[in-house]
């Protein structure tokens, strides 16, 4: 199926490979990005939560974009996640993405200070977007309150959308709160609403959602694509998400990727995260095999 030009589709929230020393494994990263794009993803998202983006500094981000370019992956196939609490660091990351001609910016709210007001969060976003100027384009707001402790209210999104028309083009909702997601779909149908919790993906797409930025797309993009593109249910995905959530999510995704590839180098994470214990890796892998054995993934 050819994806309509105005649909976002399925993006892999691409996990970042590291050597045991913590250094970036750029060759493995480029190979994995190519695999995701060849197996059902319309783009890859770099430096997101699953990609440990808050642990990758400016130099590392430049190296990753360079490795993608060397692998023939153009900016139009890349969404760049900005993860910074400093306005100035966020702007620097956004300019880097613009220089690479990235498809879009996934903009995380400031995550250090807690209990901040909508007015404060609006001021932060507005400052970043104003300072970015023409580099601010195709901005997807990232709602991830379980990590950032900053919730993007439906009203705040309306305010930002009106202040920056044509610049704010989407919302990635990883709240896991279906009632909130339903409000987004109903009240912001002019934006690309992307479903972060794969258990709600098919239903969200049937209600007008435009797809997903998905951590599980690192593992089984072929299975996820019908959910993200056509809104087709697949209860195996619900079961897999439920199982993954029993573990620290990022190391769990890397454990599943290790199972799919047979490559234990994928287990490496950067501090403060730690890899899953071998027993958990085995149990999660066996669960995955039971779900997808003899299935094309």
How far CA 151 is from CA of 177, 193, 280, in Å, comes to 11, 16, 32
Question: pLDDT tens-digit profile of 167-186?
Answer: 999 999 999 999 999 999 99
Beta strand 9-13 with 211-214: parallel, antiparallel or unpaired? parallel
Model confidence at 6, pLDDT cuts 50, 70, 90, reads: low
Residue 293 pLDDT:
76
Reported in sequence order, the residue ranges of 94-221 that DSSP labels E, i.e. its strands, are 104-107, 139-143, 168-173, 192-195, 211-214
Of 162, 49, 46, 180, nearest to 109 by C-alpha is: 49
Kindly state the greatest CA–CA separation across the chain: 52
Residue 2 pLDDT:
47
What is the rounded average pLDDT of the residues 101-114?
96
Model confidence at 1, pLDDT cuts 50, 70, 90, reads: very low
CA dihedral for 154, 115, 174, 15, sign (positive or negative)? positive
Model confidence at 130, pLDDT cuts 50, 70, 90, reads: very high
* pTM (predicted TM-score): 0.94
Query: Distance between CA 125 and CA 255 in Å, rounded?
Result: 35
Model confidence at 188, pLDDT cuts 50, 70, 90, reads: very high
What is the rounded average pLDDT of the residues 117-145?
97
What is the rounded average pLDDT of the residues 139-162?
96
Query: Distance between CA 72 and CA 117 in Å, rounded?
Result: 43
Model confidence at 150, pLDDT cuts 50, 70, 90, reads: very high
Model confidence at 132, pLDDT cuts 50, 70, 90, reads: very high
């Amino acid at each position: 199926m050819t994806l309509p030009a105005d649909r976002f589709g399925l993006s892999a929230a691409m996990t970042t490979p590291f050597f045991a020393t913590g250094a970036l494994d750029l060759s493995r990263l480029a190979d994995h990005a190519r695999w995701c794009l060849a197996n059902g993803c319309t783009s890859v998202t770099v430096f997101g939560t699953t990609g440990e983006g808050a642990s990758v500094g400016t130099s590392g981000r430049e190296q990753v974009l360079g490795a993608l370019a060397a692998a023939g992956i153009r900016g139009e196939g890349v969404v760049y996640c900005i993860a910074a609490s400093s306005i100035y660091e966020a702007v620097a990351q956004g300019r880097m993405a613009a220089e690479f001609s990235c498809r879009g910016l996934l903009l995380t709210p400031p995550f250090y200070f807690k209990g901040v007001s909508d007015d404060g969060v609006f001021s932060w976003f507005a400052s970043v977007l104003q300072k970015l100027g023409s580099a601010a384009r195709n901005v997807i707001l990232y709602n991830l309150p379980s990590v950032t402790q900053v919730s993007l209210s439906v009203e705040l999104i309306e305010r930002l959308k009106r202040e920056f028309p044509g610049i704010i083009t989407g919302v990635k909702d990883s709240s896991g709160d279906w009632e909130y997601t339903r409000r987004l779909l109903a009240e912001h149908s002019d934006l690309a609403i992307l479903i972060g919790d794969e258990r709600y993906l098919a239903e969200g797409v049937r209600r007008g959602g435009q797809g997903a930025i998905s951590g599980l797309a690192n593992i089984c993009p072929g299975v996820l694509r019908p959910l993200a593109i056509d809104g087709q249910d697949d209860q195996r995905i619900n079961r897999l998400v439920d199982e993954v959530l029993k573990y620290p999510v990022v190391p769990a995704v890397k454990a599943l990727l290790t199972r799919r590839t047979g490559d234990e180098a994928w287990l490496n994470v950067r501090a403060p995260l730690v890899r899953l214990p071998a027993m958990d890796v085995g149990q999660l892998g066996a669960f995955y095999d039971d779900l997808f054995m003899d299935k094309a993934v």
